[in-house]
Structure formats: structure tokens, C-alpha cells
Amino acid sequence: MENYIVYCGDVNYSTGADLTVTTEGGGEAKLIGGMSFRDPFTMAAPGDTDHLLQIYQPTKPGKFGLHATVSIPWAPEGNEETADGYYLIADDLTVTPITAEDMDKHTDPIPVPAVSGDVNADGDVDVLDLITLQKYVLGTGTLPAADAADLNEDGSVDVFDLALLKRVLLSKQQEQPEEEVSISFTANHKTTGGIIDHSKYENQSPAATIVTTYSDYQAAVEKDANSLRQVPDEAFFETKALVVVETESTSSSVYHEVTAMTRKADTLNINLLKRTPESVNEDLVARRLCYIVDKNDLAGVTKTNITTEEVMTKQIKATNMTSSDYGTVSRNTELPEKGSFVLLNTYEEFTAAAAGLDLINVPDEAFFETKSVALVTSPATSSSYRIRLTGMQLEGNTLTAYLYGQSYGMPTPDMANQTFVYSVNKADIQGASEFKVDLNTTIIEDPTVDY
């Protein structure tokens, strides 16, 4: 037993012999029990010995030597040393056997650092320690590690230590690393790439502001109200918040976009994608990006962290092949919700997919030696939106068609798609293997204003 010292020996009490136990070293142990017995199935005879068992409980750390001697008072020469035991008692009062030589080598007990709060001495500070300490304070339990229970180090273990242990466990629970949770967000700026601010040309790095009240909105964002899709009022901030990201100063031809938001503990992590074209303008501006998020998702957030990812982009020159900048409206019962983007690289593909379209110039086989036809269909939206293609951009292997739609007043409830046909140079779109449609829409209250 690692918490006790046990002596076993034989003593012939019929001769008047007695057992004497002496100790040495700085450690201490007290006798807590013992017994002597004979074989119950054997008739005792003169000279038979008793089997003796004694148990000692360590009470003080240090070296501890136990020497058991059988002595016969009327015959000192018959004294017999029956057993020696050498032990090292650690700070937690556990026992390690050592040799007589080790007694000279060891000058200190085996160090066992006390963990404050580890009341049950199992190596962890948890709710089991709280239960053990509570039982002790109520007088219904014992303390395996009294030193660890005296959390306020006032020399006694009482209800104040119990309160401190509860605080320690609560703090540990709060310090547990939280999982990173994805945050849903919606862009609230009208223009692709954010709101340009020509007055900001000295911003060194991007920064984010969380706007949770109408007064904060008035101070920080209201100046951009005409550039927002949804203009917040006081009721808006009862359930929603705005995350406003201001970019570093860079060329106005560089576009920014938040691609992800995550929350970990009290920090909102923002992934900012910076799209840099092959050739850039020489002006310096900053952009403001405004996003709507659920207010509950940001509860407790006090810090923001922005990670910027830069990719090279290429603006693709596209030529309209129809007579209208607003495409061809298509109303049918199976409207593609996400839109579609198909690149027609051969005359056969064109005749199969675009037959019947009203085009200014119908391409022939020679056309497809150097060019392709981009057939772009918008996502299903109100037929009152005036949608036009504002540009194409190659980013890595992804070719994106950017559409922008305006509705003067509230959109009508009927749904429609609009199809656009543009020609592009094959050399400009080499490497494109994935195609995407990006549609931004806004309601124009004043028909004389075009954003």
C-alpha cells in the first residue's frame, strides 16, 4: 500500500520477549492498528510464536526508518533485530521504499507539487474537488490534500476556500477554447467592390467597425446612406447589426469583398478578398464595405481580426451582340434561380444553344477561330428590374459575369430571366473552366438618379 507502512514479524511472547520499534529520519508515521495471531487450525505448543502485523500511517514528509527488535529482558544477549525498513515519505504522504544507502543520499522528500484546488489529490481540479471540499466544510467528509484545499492560504479550510474553488472552476470553464462558428452576412452596399471614398488615401491597413445602435450608425455610416441597399432605422438595430470594413488605400481599380466571417470567443474574424487587376489606376482611394448580420451572432464580440487574401484578376473585354443593353426577357415556368453562364466555343455549340436569338451580327464558322460567345442568363428576378451586364472578370480559372439591376419603385411580383449574348476573345479567357453569375440589384426611389 503506497500510503501506509506495514510491519510483519514473529514474536514468542511465552519467553517474555517483547517487540520494540524505533524510527529515524525527519519523516514521521503513527501506529494506527495491529494484531497478533496463530494458525487457528494448529494446536499451540510451548515455544510457538505469534505472527504480528502492525500498520503505520505517514504523518510528516521526509526520510523514515523503522527498526523492529525482539528483546528478552532477562537475556539481553538474546535480543534479535527482526526487520529494518527504509522509506521516503513525499509531500502528499505517499510512501516509496528505499535502501539503507539511500537514507544517506536523500536529504529531501520526493517533491510532489501541490495543485491549488486539487482537494481529492487526483491530479485534476474539477467538480469532484468541489464535492469533496463541500463535504468537508459541512463536516461529512475528509480532505485527502489539505494544503491544496486552503486556497486563500489563511491556514484554515473553510467556506471561503469553497467560494474560491467555485470561482476557479468557473474561470476554467470560461477559458476553454471555443469553436470557430461561421457567421451569416449580407452585403448592404450597392456597388460591386464597396463604396469608394476619395478622401481616404492614407489608410495603411484595413479596419472593421461593428455598428449595433442607430446613434452609432448616424455617426459612422449615415453619410453613405445613398449607397446602401437597405437604410437602417432604429427598429433595424433591435435584431440586426452592421459590420463596416474600411480597406487600406489602394487603386480604385482594385476591388474588395468579404468572403467569410467567423466568430471565436470574443473575436470576429473577417476574411477580406482583394482583387488586383493586371493593370491598375494610379489614384489612391479607400473602399467601405457594409454587411448586415444578426445581432445575436455578435453578442459578446469585442474585437475584430481581418485576414487579407490577394488574387490577381483580369478584366475581360466583352462586346454586346444584341441591340439592347438590357438583354432579352424570358418568362417561363422553369426559371433557373441561380442563373447560368455558358461559353460557346464552336459554331455547332452556338447553333444548338442560341438559335432564334435576335442578334446584330450572326457569327459564322470563321468567327469561332478567334472568338467565343458568352451566353449569360440572369437569376430569376422581377421583370421590372432593368438588368445589364457590367463586366466580366477572370480570377484564376473562374470567369464571372457581373450583372447589375435597377428597379424604379417597388419591383413587380412577376418573375423573369434576362439573357445576354456577348463575344469575347479566346486568347483573353484561356484557362477558364468554371463560370459564375453575380447579380446585384437595387431599388431606385428617384428615377432621375442612376447609381
Task: Look at residue 15 in the predicted model and tell me its pLDDT.
Answer: 58
Q: Which is nearest to 132 in space by CA: 121, 123, 122, 141?
A: 141
What pLDDT sits at residue 13?
Answer: 57
Residue predicted with more confidence, 49 or 25: 25
Give the Cα separation of 249 and 203 in Å (integer): 5
How do the domains of the chain map onto residue ranges? 5-105, 127-175, 181-312, 317-444
Mean pLDDT of the residues in the chain:
80
- Range name among 32-46, 192-206, 270-284 with the lowest pLDDT average: 32-46
Segment (H or E) for 27: none
pLDDT, one tens digit per residue, over 56-73 is 888 888 888 877 776 666
Return the number of other C-beta atoms located less than 10 Å from residue 389's C-beta.
22
Is residue 13 exposed (0-12), middle (13-18) or buried (19+ Cβ within 10 Å)?
middle
In sequence order, what are the residues at sequence separation of 6 or more whose Cβ sits closer than 8 angstroms to the Cβ of residue 152? 160, 161, 164
Residue 437's nearest CA partner among 342, 330, 344, 339 is: 339
pLDDT band at 236 (very low <50, low <70, confident <90, very high): very high
Question: Which of 186, 192, 187, 188 shows the shortest CA–CA distance to 404?
Answer: 192
Total Cβ atoms within 10 A of residue 55:
16
State the fold for domain 5-105.
Immunoglobulin-like (2.60.40)
Residue 110 has pLDDT above 50, yes or no: no
The beta-carbon contacts of 342-348 under 8 Å, at least 24 apart in sequence, are 342/374, 342/375, 342/376, 342/435, 343/372, 343/373, 343/374, 343/375, 343/399, 343/429, 343/432, 343/435, 344/372, 344/373, 344/374, 344/375, 345/372, 345/426
- Run of H or E residues at 186: strand 186-187
Q: Write the DSSP assignment of 346-393 as a string of letters.
A: SHHHHHHHSTT---SS---TGGGGTEEEEEEEPPSEETT-EEEEEEEE
CA distance 361 to 279: 31
Report pLDDT for 4: 80
Is residue 248 within 8 A of residue 286, CB to CB? The reply is: yes
The answer, yes or no, to whether residue 95 has pLDDT greater than 50, is yes
Q: Is the pLDDT of residue 45 over 60?
A: no
Which of the residue ranges 133-147, 204-218, 277-291, 396-410 has the most confident prediction, judged by mean pLDDT? 204-218
Let me know the angle formed at the C-alpha of 340 by 338 and 344, rounded to the nearest 5 degrees. Answer: 175
Name 88's bridge partners: 63, 96
Answer yes or no: are the C-beta atoms of 165 and 133 closer than 8 Å. Answer: yes
Q: Which three three-digit cell numbers place residue 132?
A: 469533496
One-character DSSP codes across 219-277: HHTGGGGGGBSS---TGGGGTEEEEEEEPPSB-TT-EEEEEEEEEETTEEEEEEEEEEE
Residues contacting 86, CB < 8 A, separation 6+: 63, 64, 65, 66, 97, 98, 99, 100, 102, 103
* Residue 302 pLDDT exceeds 80: yes
pLDDT digits (tens, 9 = 90+) for 177-197: 668 899 999 999 888 778 888
What is the band of 208 on the pLDDT scale with cuts at 50, 70, 90? very high
Q: What local confidence, expressed as pLDDT, does residue 85 receive?
A: 80
pLDDT score recorded for residue 113: 47
DSSP state of 206: -
Q: Which amino acid is at 95?
A: V
Mean pLDDT computed over 90-111:
67
Q: pLDDT tens, 277-297?
A: 777 787 888 889 999 999 989
What is the percent of the chain with per-residue pLDDT over 90, rounded to a whole number? Answer: 20
Tell me the three-class secondary structure of 141-184, residue by residue. CCCCCHHHHCCCCCCCCCHHHHHHHHHHHHHHHHHCCCCCEECC
Cα-based distances in Å from 242 to 193, 236, 269, 274, 377: 17, 10, 15, 21, 32
Does residue 450 register a pLDDT over 50? no
The stretch 437-449 carries a mean pLDDT of 67
Q: How many residues does the chain have?
A: 451
Q: Between 412 and 157, where is the model more confident?
A: 157
**pLDDT at residue number 451:** 39
Instruction: Tell me the mean pLDDT in the region 106-117.
Output: 53
| Amino acid symbol at 254 | V
pLDDT at 353: 83
Amino acid 220: pLDDT: 82
The pLDDT of residue 306 is 95
pLDDT at 191: 81
On the 0-12 / 13-18 / 19+ scale of CB atoms within 10 A, 405 is buried
Identity of the highest mean pLDDT range in 99-113, 252-266, 375-389: 252-266
Q: What CA dihedral angle connects 261, 264, 267 and 269, to 10 degrees?
A: -30
